[in-house]
Structure 1
Amino acid sequence: MHHNITNSTAFFPTLDKDAGAFEFEQRYQRTEKKPLGEGTYGEVYKARCQATGLIVAMKRMKLDQEDEGVPSTAIREVSLLKELKHPNIVKLLDVFCSQKKLYLIFEFVDLDLKKHMKQMGGLTKEKVQSFTYQLLLV
């Protein structure tokens, strides 16, 4: 399944018979072999959209063959990110699902909250209040 949600108001992934996982990885080529981050479900890589040259973050999640389909956590993440519109929340640009992997394409940002906190030695009470307020406005 492939779905570009950049200019879409609804998220309805469709089966793209021409877009296999290999083709999708060619559409978004990794710029570095080492992942930017790793988690329980997969890795995040810096990549480039071959069509536009745009630098993106490609989250590649392995789907467990024993489970039935896409994990509910991934479905929730896609649903929430599709709806959230805020300058301080990374935008979900594209989604692709094959039998073995789920790819989420995000706008690329150099600094995330975790890195910011590490650089600043934590967050002041005022910063926490400011971030919380911004999140509540979304």
Structure 2
Amino acid sequence: MNSSAHNDIDLLLEKAKSSGRNEDLSALWKAALNLPQWHFITQQTANIEDRKPAVGMVDNKPWVFLFTDRQRAQEYGRTIKDGGFVDESGNVMVISTDTQRAIDYLLALASQGVYGLRFNELNGWFSPIENLPAIIKHVNKG
């Protein structure tokens, strides 16, 4: 992913945060939904097959953490001391997946009781997963 897409997401986020306007938030979601992949961090496990996207507790609710690019996922994984995200060589395990597959996965997590999604934690935005279909429908009609 090129850096202009990173910067677009950052600019759209800043605009949405400062204006609080729905159309600015929609533009941010549209940019995220148009990315080819979304990225999850995962804890180190002996078997690669056992690795699943990280879910963490925030305000006593389970949230899944996802990122618009691998670099942000790496940065966030490193900030979690003793989180089990960093291997011996200092790398954070990142699961990159096709955006539509990621959306399907998130909706499946919601049915298992995961409350929400947090995009680009540290400087990002969040939503209850159950709002995702309405967000997608809204963005796609615009």
Instruction: Indicate the structure with greater helix content.
Output: 2
Which of these two proteins has the greater Rg computed from alpha carbons?
1
TM-score range with shorter-chain normalisation?
A: under 0.3
Higher relative contact order (CA 8 A, sep 6+): 2
Instruction: Indicate the structure with greater strand content.
Output: 1
TM norm structure 1: 0.26
